[in-house]
Amino acid sequence: CAPPDVVVWPQAVGQVQELAALCHRCRVPMVPFGTGTGLEGGVNAVQGGVCFDLSRMDAIAELSLEDFSVTVEPGVTCKALNKHLRGTGLWFPVGTVGMRGCHGAGGGSTGEAGD
């Protein structure tokens, strides 16, 4: 494993798309980084490349109390989400290592345990 050659901090989806297209054209590896809660060492690249630090993309885009769903950007922390949910009767619980492992993923795109 190797550290990235450079770190970028996009703040919007369009910036991520432009940077990803540039990396693709130049055949440069890309490594995404959200809030640093991953358990699998996914920030490590095989060789250098560009780390996309998405921590500044921290908006909570949509909350639906009716279907218990929320749409967030990749930089939203559990603490920030739960602060946003305060007063609604909802919360986003911390997942256990076993629960994450049974999905074979970090849980972010799988709906955690509620899919």
In tens, the pLDDT along 64-82 reads 999 999 999 999 999 999 9
This model's pTM is above 0.75:
no
List 31's β-bridge partners, or say none: 51
Q: Find, among 82, 106, 103, the residue nearest to 92 by Cα.
A: 82
- What Cα–Cα distance (Å) separates residue 37 from each residue in 14, 15, 83, 88, 100? 24, 23, 18, 25, 12
Q: Cα separation of 39 and 28, whole Å?
A: 24
- 4 vs 76: CA distance, rounded Å: 23
| Domain boundaries of the chain, sorted by first residue | 6-53, 60-103
Q: Is 11 helix (H, G, I), strand (E, B) or coil?
A: coil
pLDDT for res 104: 46
pLDDT, tens digit, for every residue of 18-64?
A: 999 999 999 999 999 988 777 666 677 788 899 999 999 999 999 99
Please tell me the distance from the alpha carbon of residue 103 to that of residue 111, in angstroms, as a whole number: 10
Q: Considering the domain 6-53, what is its CATH architecture?
A: 2-Layer Sandwich (3.30)
